[in-house]
Amino acid sequence: MNQPLTDGFGRQHTYLRVSLVEKCNLRCRYCMPEEPEWTPGHQLCTTEELLLLMDTFIKLGVTKVRLTGGEPTMRKDFTRILAWLSRQDVELSMTTNGTLIHRFIDDLKRYGLYKLNVSLDTLNPVRFEEMTRRTGFHKVLENIHLLIDEGFDVKVNAVILRGQNDDEIIDFVEWTRVMPLSVRFIEFMPFSGNKWDDDVMVPFAEIKSRIEESYAIEKIPDGPNDTTKHYRVSGFRGNFGIISSMTEHFCGSCNRIRLLANGAMKNCLFSDSETSLLEPLRRGEDVEPVIREVIARKHATHGGRFAIAGRENRSMVTIGG
Ligand code: SAM
Ligand code: SF4
């Protein structure tokens, strides 16, 4: 057995988030810059290269793989990748905007991907178009219901932005009264080209207290590496969580590694650097020492909200959340 991927703070890295594709069919303002810089096609991983890299991570102890993007379901060989992953000893999940998921229900079942985070920031169709700069609200909503009916474990991701959708926090919680899903409110994070503003970010404590003004809520236990603080309103079928990346970071228990569509590896979502694994792979070199070195130099924390806000980073659409 290989030595686990352990950093200088003793954190073992067993969770790989893979961005399958940079591009997306939505244009969420908080994620996609007005003029995105796309990687030229020949610098993106082919299917074989992506599988080789994922295989290396799995041999180095990765037990959980989350597919993300851009929009992961837009990758042409999406089902081939899914089929390969289903033969590995890993727990699978995906983050998707939900617009195309109806096309893949049978594949997801066949290949054992039952955990889906579907991003939906508003329950208002007009607002959806303002926020995503595209149509598709009704399809996403329909697909969330379809996934639940088909027995998938569904979480809805909603990034909360002051003045844009923060008046819908209660509507989202109310949704969980009858719907067996988990709504996850996410603090707005800064990335290249997303016009991040501290005043627009609604902090965890405020989201929670606004909910407490309307409901008596109870805490649900969180998992050991969880980024979400979970709660429920008693008697409701679903529950909700808050992801406090900015105001109460969870770096101490971080077990996450990111692999981008261009074969670059990031040891932290907020890291200002990334290391290509694709270049050594194409030169026929062993990527394991490179992976170990990137993990070894991971920082203890991302350094707080203002430290991150000023830092160089990619756009979120090319990292994958
Ligand atoms: N296209 C897929 C989707 O929207 O679910 C997967 C990729 S998207 C980058 C992954 C997650 O990152 C989404 O839930 C999205 O809402 C979240 N996200 C994007 N930009 C963000 C930001 N600036 N702050 C917080 N979350 C963000
Ligand atoms: Fe696309 Fe997801 Fe980014 Fe929206 S959040 S632009 S759906 S990648």
List pLDDT tens digits, range 202-252.
Answer: 999 999 999 999 999 999 999 988 889 999 999 999 999 999 999 988 889
Query: Which ligand gives the minimal distance to the CA of 321?
Result: 1
Q: What is the CATH number of domain 15-319?
A: 3.20.20.70
Please report the pLDDT score of residue 129 as a whole number. Answer: 98
pLDDT at residue 182 tops 70: yes
How many angstroms does the Cα of residue 160 sit away from the middle of ligand 2? 14
Average pLDDT of span 160-184? 98
Interval 41-52: pLDDT, tens: 999 999 999 999
319 Cβ closer than 6 Å to some ligand 2 atom? no
| Predicted model pTM | 0.96
Please report the pLDDT score of residue 308 as a whole number. Answer: 67
How many angstroms does the Cα of residue 132 sit away from the middle of ligand 2? 8
Please report the pLDDT score of residue 7 as a whole number. Answer: 95
Tell me the C-alpha to C-alpha distance, in Å, between residue 114 and each of 108, 110, 155, 212.
7, 10, 11, 31
What are the residue boundaries of the structural domains of the chain, listed by start? 15-319
Q: Provide, rounded to the nearest whole percent, the portion of the chain with pLDDT above 90.
A: 83
pLDDT at residue 2 tops 80: no
The residue ranking higher by pLDDT, 197 or 1, is 197
Query: Could you tell me the pLDDT band of residue 273, with boundaries at 50, 70 and 90?
Result: confident
27 Cβ closer than 6 Å to some ligand 2 atom? yes
| Site to substitute for ligand 1 among 27, 31, 172, 207, most atoms within 8 A of C-beta | 31
pLDDT at residue 3 tops 90: no
